Chains A and B, each alone.
Chain A
């Protein structure tokens, strides 16, 4: 199909939808505009806990997609050992894995066997969760089959918790409990409340940044659907394209910040990082020494 054909097709679709829209608005009664509600989920309650079913379903879908692609890539690269030509899927995975590994190596001094897979998993999972928003699965205003699960704080809180606990554990393992908690009192003991606050705010900002961006994307889509149907498709198309980019950027930011928090926890206070080359180098050496021992204790084996 040539570019000319695509243009022609787009033009036909545009004119057609415009005509249909005009006819529909002229013939139908003006029904009441649905009110945009936020934080509304289909819920089930079990054992005293409320579960957002739609979020859970879309989480499962996103997770299943990531796993499917991951295992397809794994099959592609373990299938034929003699053939060095990688498949496209494999190349995508390798590009992401390579980038994250490089980030982790730059910031942590080596490809950490826990931090790197965590950042990779976060990136892919968040990316697919965000992109579910683009699928037009909202049957009517009350039934959205696959809302972006990242537009639910439950998911983002969970991811942030995993991240921050991993960072704390990494920091304590790298510098020892004493060394790790000492940095709360640096550069002056007076700074302790601020340092503590910073450490506690980190996961909250991680979670709410992601949630806010994707949630706002959903609200934008809802606002766009309030427009007359003959004009609706244009901003909808534009916004979904933009939303896809936001989805990538937010996934990237979450993964990158995870790596940076690991680096901060390993190298002392954030302000010191990169400031004094010698100190960082020393710490990096120290990290390298400790990792040999701690790698065995990491919950996820490196290979």
Chain B
């Protein structure tokens, strides 16, 4: 009974002056309004505003992280490609060197073979030339011997007026002449040397 009376009295007192000075440290009904207002604000922010912001931030962080990972991967790929390129280049160089070396060796071998062949050919040609010369010389010697003998005998016969048709004698004379000639030549050669 007392409480409603007090309440109505308070209400009346409050209505009397629109502007009322009270102890500002004591909360009044506004407290509940503020409580509700903040609770509503908190609920709306926590429910509708903050989660999407968090999500967006995380998404962006993830995107940046992924981008950096991608860059890192690309860098590694590039470096590995460079490595591969370098090794391939080195391999190619080595291969080229090897080929060049082989070619040089082969060339040298071919040259040597050809030289050998040439030498052999030369030797053969020289040999055959020698043989031919010897044969021709022999032939010339034989023909010379035959013709010089007859010529000389004819000449001598004509000079001495005596026929030197006797083969045996003429042959002896020619032989002696020839051997004299040879010995004379040998002596001359020795003199030249001496």
Q: Which of A60, A74, A116, A159 has the most chain B CB atoms inside 10 A of its CB?
A: A74
Complexed CA–CA distance, A51 and B29 (Å): 5
Complexed CA–CA distance, A149 and B54 (Å): 29
B21 touches A59 (CB 8 A): no
Contact of A162 among B38, B50, B54 (CB under 8 A): B38
From residue A133, how far is it (CB to closest CB) to chain B in Å?
Answer: 16
If A43-B18, A50-B29, A157-B31 touch, does A300 touch B46 (CB 8 Å cutoff)?
Answer: yes
Asked if B68 is an interface residue, CB under 8 A from chain A, the answer is: no
B32 touches A300 (CB 8 A): no
If A94-B53, A300-B47 touch, does A155 touch B21 (CB 8 Å cutoff)?
Answer: no
From residue A81, how far is it (CB to closest CB) to chain B in Å?
Answer: 9
Residue in chain B with minimal CB distance to A46: B29
Asked if B190 is an interface residue, CB under 8 A from chain A, the answer is: no
Residue in chain B with minimal CB distance to A43: B20
B42 touches A86 (CB 8 A): no
Q: Return chain B residues, CB-CB under 8 Å to A154.
A: 27-28, 30-31, 33-34
* Interface residues on chain A, number (Cβ under 8 Å): 62
Asked if B60 is an interface residue, CB under 8 A from chain A, the answer is: yes
If A45-B11, A46-B29, A90-B53 touch, does A70 touch B34 (CB 8 Å cutoff)?
Answer: no
Interface mask (B10-47 → A, CB under 8 Å = 1, otherwise 0): 11001100111111111111111111011111111111
Complexed CA–CA distance, A56 and B32 (Å): 10
Complexed CA–CA distance, A154 and B27 (Å): 5
Asked if A124 is an interface residue, CB under 8 A from chain B, the answer is: yes
From residue B33, how far is it (CB to closest CB) to chain A in Å?
Answer: 5
Q: Which of A33-41, A229-237, A240-248, A265-273 lies at the interface with chain B?
A: A33-41
Complexed CA–CA distance, A161 and B31 (Å): 10
A153 touches B49 (CB 8 A): no
Number of A-B contacts (CB under 8 A): 158
If A39-B22, A120-B50 touch, does A70 touch B28 (CB 8 Å cutoff)?
Answer: no
Asked if B99 is an interface residue, CB under 8 A from chain A, the answer is: no
From residue B22, how far is it (CB to closest CB) to chain A in Å?
Answer: 6
Asked if A107 is an interface residue, CB under 8 A from chain B, the answer is: no
Q: Return chain A residues, CB-CB under 8 Å to B24.
A: 38-39, 152-153, 215
From residue B151, how far is it (CB to closest CB) to chain A in Å?
Answer: 126
Complexed CA–CA distance, A208 and B27 (Å): 12
Q: Return chain B residues, CB-CB under 8 Å to A200.
A: none
From residue A302, how far is it (CB to closest CB) to chain B in Å?
Answer: 7
Residue in chain A with minimal CB distance to B20: A43
B33 touches A56 (CB 8 A): yes
Complexed CA–CA distance, A136 and B54 (Å): 35
A55 touches B41 (CB 8 A): no
Residue in chain A with minimal CB distance to B47: A300
Asked if A281 is an interface residue, CB under 8 A from chain B, the answer is: no
Q: Return chain A residues, CB-CB under 8 Å to B123.
A: none
Complexed CA–CA distance, A208 and B25 (Å): 9
Asked if B51 is an interface residue, CB under 8 A from chain A, the answer is: yes
Complexed CA–CA distance, A118 and B132 (Å): 126
Q: Return chain B residues, CB-CB under 8 Å to A23.
A: none
Asked if A21 is an interface residue, CB under 8 A from chain B, the answer is: no
Complexed CA–CA distance, A142 and B19 (Å): 9
B14 touches A120 (CB 8 A): no
Contact of B54 among A90, A101, A125 (CB under 8 A): A101
Offer 18 A-B interface pairs, CB within 8 angstroms, sorted by A.
Answer: A39-B22, A43-B14, A45-B14, A45-B15, A48-B7, A51-B33, A52-B28, A63-B40, A66-B41, A117-B50, A125-B38, A149-B34, A152-B30, A153-B25, A154-B28, A157-B34, A300-B46, A302-B51
Which residues of B pack against A, CB within 8 Å? 7, 10-11, 14-15, 18-35, 37-57, 60, 63
Please name 8 further chain A to chain B contacts, defined as beta carbons within 8 Å, in addition to the given A86-B56, A154-B28, A300-B43, sorted by A numbering: A39-B23, A45-B11, A49-B28, A50-B30, A63-B40, A90-B53, A97-B50, A118-B46
Which residues of A pack against B, CB within 8 Å? 37-43, 45-52, 55-56, 59-60, 63, 66-67, 70-71, 73-74, 77-78, 84, 86, 90, 93-94, 97-98, 101, 111, 114, 116-118, 120-121, 124-125, 142, 149, 152-155, 157-159, 161-162, 208, 215, 300-303
